[in-house]
Amino acid sequence: MAEIDKITGLPKDLLEFGDITKESQKIKVRTLARRFGKIVTIVSGLENEGEAKKLEKEMKRKLACGGTTKGKEIVLQGKHSEAVKEILKKNGYREELIDA
């Protein structure tokens, strides 16, 4: 028997809101030149910090670069805007809402 949610009274299998929020988020991917001419890629527009941290780990691993999460924003070292867009698409974000 499926586990019942205490708040809504519905089975927890039906409560998959994570995918719905991913499909409606407008995400910006931009590159900036920082001190000493270093290029960084900034991903902003994510709704929660936990998702940002998870994506940051995956991006750093796949792109072989350094980076950090500052709140709901991901900062990656280097110019990776096209690769970041592909990673976001594979994680369920809509291509039309990714501004790269």
Write down all domains in the chain, each with its CATH number in brackets.
Answer: 17-99 (3.30.780.10)
Tell me the Cα Rg of the chain: 16
Q: Using DSSP, state whether 100 is helix, strand or coil.
A: coil
Interval 19-30: pLDDT, tens: 556 667 889 999
Alpha helices (H) along the chain? 18-24, 49-63, 81-90
Model pTM? Answer: 0.76
> How many other CB atoms are there within 10 angstroms of residue 75's CB atom?
17
Name which of 75, 82, 93 is nearest 25 in CA terms.
Answer: 93
Interval 76-87: pLDDT, tens: 999 999 999 999
